[in-house]
Structure 1
Amino acid sequence: MSDATQTAPALKEIFNRERLRHIAEQTASIYRAFDSKAFMARASKDLDDLSLMQRLNRVSQCLHAGLPDDYPAALEILFQLAPRLNSGFVTLILPEYVALYGQHDFQRSMHALRFFTAFGSSEFAVRHFLRNDLKQALALMYDWSLDDDPHVRRLASEGSRPRLPWSFRLESLVADPSPTLEILDNLKADDSLYVRKSVANHLNDITKDNPQWVLDQIEAWPLDNPNTAWIARHALRSLIKKGDGRALTIMGAGEKAQVRIDALNVTPSTIRLGDRISLSITLTSTASTHQRLIIDYAIHYVKKSGGTSAKVFKLKTLELAAGESVTITREQQIRNFTTRVHYAGRHEVDVLINGQCLGRSGFDLAE
Structure 2
Amino acid sequence: MEPLKEMFNRAFYQHFAGVFADADRNFNTAEFLEDVTVKLDELELNGRLRNTSVTLRKYLPDNFEKAVDILYKAAPALRRGYTALVLPDFIALYGKEHFDLSMEALKDFTSLGSSEFAIREFLKTDLDKTLKVMSYWAEHPDEHVRRLASEGARPRLPWSFKLEQIIKDPSLTTGILERLKADEAPYVRKSVANHLNDISKDNASYMLQLVKAWDTDNVHTRWIIKHASRTLIKKGDQDSLSLFDFEKDVKLSIDNFSISSHHVQLGEELQVNFEVKSLKDTPQKLVIDYAIHYVKASGEHSRKVFKLKEINLLPDQTVAVSKRQIFKDMTTRKHYAGKHIIEIIINGKDYGSKEFNLVTQQI
Q: TM-score, normalised by structure 2?
A: 0.93
Find the counterpart in structure 2 of residue 33 from structure 1. Answer: 26
May I ask how many residue pairs the two structures share in their alignment? Answer: 359
User: Higher mean Cα deviation, 138-147 or 308-317?
Assistant: 308-317
Find the counterpart in structure 2 of residue 295 from structure 1. Answer: 288
Aligned residue for 2:202, secondary structure, equals: coil
Write the mapping of 1:235-254 to structure 2, written as runs, cut at 5 A.
235-254=228-247
Aligned residue for 1:33, secondary structure, equals: coil
User: Higher mean Cα deviation, 330-339 or 114-123?
Assistant: 330-339
Instruction: Report the AA paired with residue 67 of structure 2.
Output: A
Matched, 1:322 2:286: no
Task: Note the C-alpha offset of 1:339.
Answer: 4.6
Find the counterpart in structure 1 of residue 12 from structure 2. Answer: 19
Partner Cα distance (2:24, 2:274) in 1: 62
User: Higher mean Cα deviation, 320-329 or 55-64?
Assistant: 320-329
Task: Note the C-alpha offset of 1:310.
Answer: 2.9
Partner Cα distance (2:68, 2:226) in 1: 41
Instruction: Report the AA paired with residue 99 of structure 1.
Output: A
Q: 1:344 aligns with which of 332, 338, 346?
A: 338
- Report Cα offsets for 1:293-314 as digits up to 9, x if no partner: 1101122334567664432211
- Structure 1, gaps ≥5 residues long: 1-7
Write the mapping of 1:124-273 to structure 2, written as runs, cut at 5 A.
124-273=117-266
User: Higher mean Cα deviation, 141-150 or 234-243?
Assistant: 234-243
Aligned residue for 1:56, secondary structure, equals: helix
Partner Cα distance (1:211, 1:200) in 2: 14
Find the counterpart in structure 2 of residue 53 from structure 1. Answer: 46
Write the mapping of 1:104-143 to structure 2, written as runs, cut at 5 A.
104-143=97-136
Partner Cα distance (1:16, 1:307) in 2: 36
User: Higher mean Cα deviation, 167-176 or 147-156?
Assistant: 167-176
User: Higher mean Cα deviation, 260-269 or 209-218?
Assistant: 260-269
- Structure 2 vs 1, CA of residues 109 and 238 (structure 1 numbering), >3 Å: closer, same or farther? same
Partner Cα distance (2:211, 2:71) in 1: 40
Aligned identity (percent) is: 44
Partner Cα distance (2:295, 2:30) in 1: 51
Aligned residue for 1:288, secondary structure, equals: coil
Instruction: Report the AA paired with residue 270 of structure 1.
Output: H
Instruction: Report the AA paired with residue 342 of structure 1.
Output: Y
Find the counterpart in structure 2 of residue 73 from structure 1. Answer: 66
Q: Verify the 8 A CA contact 1:163 1:205 in the aligned structure 2.
A: yes
Q: Verify the 8 A CA contact 1:256 1:354 in the aligned structure 2.
A: no
Partner Cα distance (1:216, 1:146) in 2: 24
- Structure 2 vs 1, CA of residues 97 and 300 (structure 1 numbering), >3 Å: closer, same or farther? closer
Task: Note the C-alpha offset of 1:366.
Answer: 4.5
Instruction: Report the AA paired with residue 169 of structure 2.
Output: D
Q: 1:94 aligns with which of 87, 92, 115?
A: 87
Task: Note the C-alpha offset of 1:74.
Answer: 1.6
Partner Cα distance (2:82, 2:298) in 1: 38
Q: Verify the 8 A CA contact 1:285 1:323 in the aligned structure 2.
A: yes
Aligned residue for 2:277, secondary structure, equals: strand
Matched, 1:43 2:36: yes
Find the counterpart in structure 2 of residue 4 from structure 1. Answer: none
